[in-house]
């Protein structure tokens, strides 16, 4: 710790021993720095806030409520474009020195960095411009910043009130032209499709439609086959019932005679067959022999032996109906099979024609969809133009108008002036300390003892007579006066800066 303290004392002694050099360097750095600060022109920033509202009940009902807001956002983003900034330059003093296109490009590039448009809470916009030109006075720079912001406000209002309606009208005209072109193309495509369909009726709709029809035919064929199988099964069942039902019913109160016995035998035979017994089964063979014996006896009894069986008549009617159903389903199946075969043959024999059908149908659908889309957009745009013309609720209000700034926004000259003074003092102390390090002298005995590694017994102080002390006091007063003058110059510059700020309009 003592070594650090000794080093600090040594540095202070070295700087103080060369204080005139340090003061001279401080003066030189401060004067040069103050001149550089004085060369920086003051920049004045003017701000304004505007409010934009686009609320309309009718626009919300027809579904274009956000269209105006989108336009406002678009204009906000393009407000600082090169075209609009060129309008600002030509409408203010910034355009007085612009003679060539190159000068205009430089002016636009410089103004782009000095102008900003910020959105606050959606409907609030802040416009700001910072102007600081060395060829203009303080008052002119402040006034010019206010004019730039005002010009931006004028452009904002013009783009959103007058420009938007003109754009809507131009868009409607453009959409009308597009509709006419699409209409002609659609009519030509429709004529090609009709001519192709007249020549190839089986390929209407192209390969996709043909594939769909084939799928539908196969599905319908499977349904008809299932219905036909069910109808044939029902017909077989009614035939079995009809075989076991007698045609007549025997009359009289007796046992019924041979006819009754024959009917009973036939009924039993039908029951055996219904159980699944074959013709070679003993019971079936015996029953058939019995029937063959009873049939001649029933024939000898004659027709007066019984009356027609109503159950048999009913079964005959049912069998006729089911036979007609089977025949209809069989005919439907044959027709579907023929159509399916013909369609598959057409698809296989004429692949190029099927591809052409697909292309014609696809082109027609694409043109029709595009035509419908443009027609819808045209109607929406036309309705939007009527709403904006007759019921426009555009509200534009300047909340904070641009004012002429009285205080420069940049640079912070008072801080720079004080910073230059401190930098000069630091530079002077640094140069004096560096010069002390270059000289082979020792400021303290402890430093000498460490450097020589020998004990120092004592030190002899400088002996100054009365004349020398008077000269030293005189030089100290001169040094203090020069140092105070340096601080006084800095204070005077600060006063001048604040006085100049007060004189800005």
Given a contact cutoff of 8 angstroms between Cβ atoms, the answer to whether 206 and 358 are in contact is yes
Task: Show Cβ contacts of residue 501 under 8 Å, excluding neighbours closer than 6 positions.
Answer: 406, 407, 408
21 and 50 inside one domain: no
pLDDT of residue 254: 42
Cα angle, residue 363 at apex, residues 361 and 367 outer, rounded to 5°: 120
Give the pLDDT mean for 358-385.
Answer: 75
342 and 487 inside one domain: no
pLDDT at 200 over 70: no
In the chain, count of helices (H) and strands (E)? Answer: 16, 6
8 and 60 inside one domain: no
Identify the CATH number of the domain in which residue 100 sits.
Answer: 3.30.1890.10
pLDDT at 28 over 90: yes
Give the pLDDT mean for 471-475.
Answer: 83
240 and 300 inside one domain: yes
Domain tally for the chain? Answer: 3
Q: Is residue 466 part of a domain?
A: yes
96 and 7 inside one domain: no
pLDDT of residue 33: 92
pLDDT at 305 over 80: no
Confidence of residue 423 (pLDDT cuts 50, 70, 90): very high
pLDDT at 365 over 70: yes
pLDDT at 323 over 60: yes
304 and 240 inside one domain: yes
pLDDT of residue 319: 80
pLDDT of residue 255: 44
pLDDT in tens, 262-277: 777 777 777 777 677 7
Q: Looking at the chain, how many residues does it have?
A: 505
Q: Is residue 184 part of a domain?
A: no
pLDDT at 189 over 90: no
Q: Is residue 94 part of a domain?
A: yes
Q: Is residue 370 part of a domain?
A: no
13 and 100 inside one domain: no
pLDDT in tens, 31-79: 999 998 888 877 888 888 888 765 443 344 444 444 445 555 665 666 7
Quote the CA–CA distance of 378 and 307 in Å, as a whole number: 86
Task: Tell me which residue range forms the domain holding 339.
Answer: 207-361
Could you tell me the CA-to-CA distances from 505 to 131, 184, 408 in Å, in that order? 15, 67, 12
Confidence of residue 7 (pLDDT cuts 50, 70, 90): low
354 and 264 inside one domain: yes
88 and 211 inside one domain: no
Q: Is residue 386 part of a domain?
A: no
pLDDT of residue 19: 84
pLDDT of residue 38: 83
pLDDT of residue 453: 73
pLDDT of residue 491: 92
Quote the CA–CA distance of 105 and 111 in Å, as a whole number: 10
Where residue 119 falls (left for φ over 0; alpha for ψ -120 to 50; beta otherwise) is: beta
Quote the CA–CA distance of 222 and 211 in Å, as a whole number: 17
pLDDT in tens, 119-149: 776 677 788 888 888 777 778 888 888 888 8
* The token pair that represents 85 in the structure block: 């900034």
Give the pLDDT mean for 14-43.
Answer: 86
Q: Which of 49-53, 309-313, 391-395, 435-439 has the lowest mean pLDDT?
A: 391-395
pLDDT of residue 119: 75
Q: Is residue 198 part of a domain?
A: no
pLDDT in tens, 81-97: 788 888 888 888 888 87
Q: Is residue 202 part of a domain?
A: no
60 and 163 inside one domain: yes
Give the pLDDT mean for 331-346.
Answer: 79
Give the pLDDT mean for 8-30.
Answer: 82
Which of 484, 474, 491 minimizes the C-alpha distance to 418?
491
Q: Is residue 136 part of a domain?
A: yes
Average pLDDT taken over every residue of the chain: 75
Q: Which of 285-294, 421-430, 464-473 has the highest mean pLDDT?
A: 421-430
């Amino acid at each position: 710790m003592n070594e650090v303290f000794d080093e600090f004392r040594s540095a202070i002694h070295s700087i103080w021993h060369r204080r005139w050099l340090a003061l001279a360097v401080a003066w030189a750095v401060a004067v040069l720095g103050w001149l550089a600060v004085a060369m920086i022109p003051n920049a004045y920033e003017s701000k304004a806030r505007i409010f934009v509202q686009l609320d309309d009940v009718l626009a919300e009902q027809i579904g274009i409520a956000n269209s105006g807001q989108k336009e406002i956002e678009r204009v906000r983003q393009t407000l600082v474009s090169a075209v609009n900034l060129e309008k600002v330059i030509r409408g203010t003093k910034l355009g007085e020195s612009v003679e060539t296109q190159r000068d205009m490009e430089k002016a636009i590039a410089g103004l782009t960095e000095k102008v900003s448009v910020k959105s606050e809470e959606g409907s609030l916009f802040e416009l700001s411009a910072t102007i600081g030109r060395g060829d203009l006075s303080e008052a002119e720079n402040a006034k010019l910043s206010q004019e730039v912001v005002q010009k931006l406000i004028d452009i904002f209002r013009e783009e959103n009130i007058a420009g938007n309606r003109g754009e809507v009208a131009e868009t409607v005209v453009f959409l009308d032209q597009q509709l006419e072109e699409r209409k002609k193309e659609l009519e030509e495509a429709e004529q090609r499709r009709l001519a192709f369909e007249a020549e190839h009726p089986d390929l209407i709709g192209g390969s996709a439609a043909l594939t769909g029809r084939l799928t539908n035919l196969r599905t319908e064929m499977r349904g008809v086959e299932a219905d036909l199988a069910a109808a044939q099964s029902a017909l077989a069942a009614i035939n079995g019932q009809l075989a076991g039902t007698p045609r007549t019913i025997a009359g009289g109160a007796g046992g019924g005679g041979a006819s009754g016995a024959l009917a009973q035998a036939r009924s039993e035979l039908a029951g055996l067959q219904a159980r699944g017994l074959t013709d070679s089964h003993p019971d079936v063979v015996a029953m058939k022999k019995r029937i063959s014996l009873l049939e001649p006896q029933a024939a000898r009894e004659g027709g007066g032996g019984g009356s027609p069986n109503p159950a048999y008549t009913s079964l005959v009617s049912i069998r006729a109906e089911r036979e007609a159903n089977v025949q209809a389903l069989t005919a439907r199946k044959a027709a579907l099979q023929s159509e399916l075969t013909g369609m598959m043959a057409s698809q296989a024999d004429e692949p190029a024609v099927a591809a052409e059908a697909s292309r014609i149908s696809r082109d027609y659908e694409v043109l029709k969809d595009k035509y419908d889309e443009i027609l819808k957009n045209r109607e929406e745009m036309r309705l939007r133009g009527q709403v904006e013309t007759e019921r426009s609720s555009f509200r534009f209000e300047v909340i904070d108008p641009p004012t002429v700034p009285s205080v420069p926004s940049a640079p912070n000259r008072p801080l720079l002036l004080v910073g230059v003074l401190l930098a000069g003092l630091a530079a002077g102390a640094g140069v004096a300390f560096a010069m002390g390090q270059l000289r082979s002298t020792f400021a303290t005995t402890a430093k000498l003892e460490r450097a020589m590694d020998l004990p120092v017994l004592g030190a002899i102080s400088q002996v100054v007579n009365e004349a020398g002390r008077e000269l030293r006091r005189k030089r100290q007063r001169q040094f203090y006066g020069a140092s105070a003058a340096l601080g006084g110059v800095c204070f005077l510059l600060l006063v001048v800066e604040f006085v100049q700020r007060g004189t800005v309009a």
